């Protein structure tokens, strides 16, 4: 990762001629001053946009608030003995995911994720008939939500659920709401849910998905530790603590949580339509407790995904033996996960340990070697996990996608109508915003 320095005041497009291994070759980031495009945020969307703008031969500044790139897709190689993805880990819909086409260039090991999941009922695995009942309930519920989304009025997903789910109701609610989207079904727009693209047939990266994204962004010059504090989209200027950039076009990829927090001032104020859209797209909550065990004490296979038949909101998911290691990732999400995370690391680890012990026996307690937890809701430049439209927010993403005065474009996972909440969606939205900008200002 190139770091900003005044001596490196070179045109970002200077070295585009050579054919690179990972995409365009970049010059250094301009320290301040005039660029064609200012890109705020160096997560997946910002990286994708920067690569595209560079390929179009235009000068850009990639401006990042934090001290690293990757945003919500980051692999932690320090906390445990193996790499652990703190955020995105699944490359969903591998056949259509735009990142999939680039994985070969990174030299990392990407492999198909196993299909399906295991279901625990107390200390035993669900029998075949029980699993079928659960899957049938899941399928009927999805179909009912999609059906409800055909109506004129947007409603909460919870209102569309079949009434006869019986004792599978809590599990279905957990899997379709907190597990999939980080919010409870009562807080998710049925229309947004229905637009969400199928996430089946995924892939994993053995070294971590964050490591893969870091490779894709590794050559791009970026100005780190420079939060954008004011965006003047009438005149084309981005103010940061390290200087002001004047730009013909501005792409903003900060999360909905950051946009809603007011940390970035817009001048003039954003139009009501965009403000309403930001208000309707709430951040979901998804936090991870990573456990390094002494061995495969749970008796599960590589990359086994496990749910429990739950009776209440205190539930979680487990990804076991991640990429064949002794890493076990317990995800807590939705309102329960948010409240638990607010209680701190100890409470999170205690919950994960007890939850695993309830499902697999107490041996797990003595097998834990190291632990690590995430706190995405408290990350100042993220403030949550992924965007989800609240009921009535069915048009919010469309509004966010409208450029303002052909000067300001929003990109990022929230600005994708079908792949929202995903890494692939963020990447594609960054590319699309860059394409729209290049169409406006032209290529070189």
| Listed residue (102, 374, 331) closest to 213, CA to CA | 102
Pick 74 or 161: Cβ nearer ligand FAD = 74
Please identify, using beta-carbon distances, which residue of 326 and 422 lies nearer to ligand FAD.
422
Q: Which of 32, 92, 233, 336 contacts ligand FAD by CB under 6 A?
A: 92
Sole binder of ligand FAD in the list 35, 50, 63, 80 (CB under 6 A):
63
| CA pair distance 406, 335, nearest whole angstrom | 38
Binding residue for ligand FAD, selected from 65, 119, 160, 289, defined by CB under 6 A: 65
Report the nearest approach of ligand FAD to the CB of residue 331 (Å): 7
Whose Cβ is closer to ligand FAD: residue 207's or residue 297's? 207
Examine residue 409 and tell whether it contacts ligand FAD (CB under 6 A). Answer: no
CB of 64 to ligand FAD, least distance (A): 5
- Among the listed ranges 140-148, 337-345, 379-387, 392-400, the one in contact with ligand FAD (CB under 6 A) is 379-387
CB 360 to ligand FAD: min, Å = 23
66 Cβ contact partners less than 8 Å away, ≥ 6 residues apart: 224, 225, 381
3-state secondary structure (DSSP) of residue 217: helix
CB of 424 to ligand FAD, least distance (A): 6
User: Is-cis flag, bond preceding 400, omega within 30?
Assistant: no
Residue 40 as a binder of ligand FAD (CB under 6 A): the answer is: yes
- Tell the smallest beta-carbon distance from residue 16 to ligand FAD (Å): 23
Q: How far is the CB of 429 from ligand FAD (least distance, A)?
A: 7
Applying CB under 6 A, what is the total number of residues that bind ligand FAD?
42
Dist CA 101 CA 48 (whole Å): 13
Query: Which residues inside 217-246 make contact with ligand FAD, applying CB under 6 A?
Result: 227-228
Contacting ligand FAD within 255-314 (CB under 6 A): 255, 258, 263-264, 286, 288
Instruction: Give me the residues paired with residue 63 across strands.
Output: 40, 223
Compute CA distances 331 → 91, 180, 199, 370, whole Å: 17, 11, 18, 16
The answer to whether residues 90 and 180 touch, using CB atoms and an 8 Å cutoff, is no
Which DSSP letter does residue 29 get? P
Long-range contacts for 29-32 (Cβ within 8 Å, ≥24 apart)?
29/2, 29/4, 29/61, 29/62, 29/221, 29/222, 29/223, 30/59, 30/61, 30/245, 31/4, 31/5, 31/6, 31/223, 31/242, 31/243, 32/242, 32/243, 32/244, 32/245
> Which contiguous run of DSSP H or E holds residue 79?
none
| 87 forms part of the interface with ligand FAD (CB under 6 A) | yes
Q: Which residues bind ligand FAD (CB under 6 A)?
A: 40-46, 63-66, 71-73, 87-90, 92, 227-228, 253-255, 258, 263-264, 286, 288, 374, 376, 381-382, 385-386, 412-413, 421-424, 426
């Amino acid at each position: 990762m190139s770091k900003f320095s005044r001596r490196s005041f070179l045109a970002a497009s200077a070295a585009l001629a050579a054919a690179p291994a990972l995409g365009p070759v970049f010059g250094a980031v301009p320290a301040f001053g005039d660029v064609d495009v200012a890109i705020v945020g160096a997560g997946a969307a910002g990286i994708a946009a920067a690569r595209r703008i560079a390929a179009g031969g235009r000068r850009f500044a990639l401006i990042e608030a934090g001290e690293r790139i990757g945003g919500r897709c980051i692999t932690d190689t320090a906390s445990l003995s193996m790499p652990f993805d703190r955020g995105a880990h699944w490359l969903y819909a591998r056949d259509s995911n735009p990142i999939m086409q680039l994985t070969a260039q990174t030299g990392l090991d990407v492999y198909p994720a196993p299909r399906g999941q295991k279901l625990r009922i107390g200390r035993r695995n669900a029998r075949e008939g029980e699993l079928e009942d659960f899957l049938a309930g899941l399928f009927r519920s999805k179909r009912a939500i999609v059906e409800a989304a055909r109506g004129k009025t947007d409603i909460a997903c919870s209102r569309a659920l079949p009434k006869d789910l019986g004792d599978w109701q809590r599990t279905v609610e957990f899997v379709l709401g907190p597990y999939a989207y980080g919010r409870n079904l009562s807080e998710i727009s049925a229309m947004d849910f229905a637009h969400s693209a199928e996430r089946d047939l995924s892939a994993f990266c053995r070294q971590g998905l964050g490591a893969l994204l870091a490779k894709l962004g590794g050559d791009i010059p970026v100005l780190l530790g420079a939060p954008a504090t004011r965006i003047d989209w009438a005149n084309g200027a981005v103010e940061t603590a390290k200087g002001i950039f004047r730009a013909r076009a501005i792409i903003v990829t900060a999360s909905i949580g950051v946009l809603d927090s007011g940390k970035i001032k817009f001048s003039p104020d954003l139009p009501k339509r965009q403000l309403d859209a930001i208000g309707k797209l709430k951040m979901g909550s998804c936090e991870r407790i990573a456990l390094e065990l002494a061995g495969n004490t749970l008796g599960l296979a590589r990359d086994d995904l496990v749910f429990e038949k739950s009776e209440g909101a205190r539930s979680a998911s487990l990804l076991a033996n991640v990429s064949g290691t002794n890493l076990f990732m317990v995800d807590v999400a939705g309102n329960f996960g948010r409240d638990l995370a607010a209680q701190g690391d100890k409470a999170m680890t205690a919950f994960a340990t007890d939850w695993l012990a309830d499902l697999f026996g107490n041996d797990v307690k003595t097998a834990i070697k190291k632990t690590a937890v995430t706190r995405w809701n408290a990350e100042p430049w993220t403030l949550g996990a992924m965007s989800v439209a609240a009921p009535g927010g069915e048009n919010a993403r469309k509004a966010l996608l409208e450029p303002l005065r052909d000067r300001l474009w929003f990109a990022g996972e929230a600005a994708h109508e079908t792949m929202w909440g995903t890494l692939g969606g963020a990447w594609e939205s960054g590319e699309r915003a860059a394409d729209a900008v290049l169409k406006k200002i032209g290529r070189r």
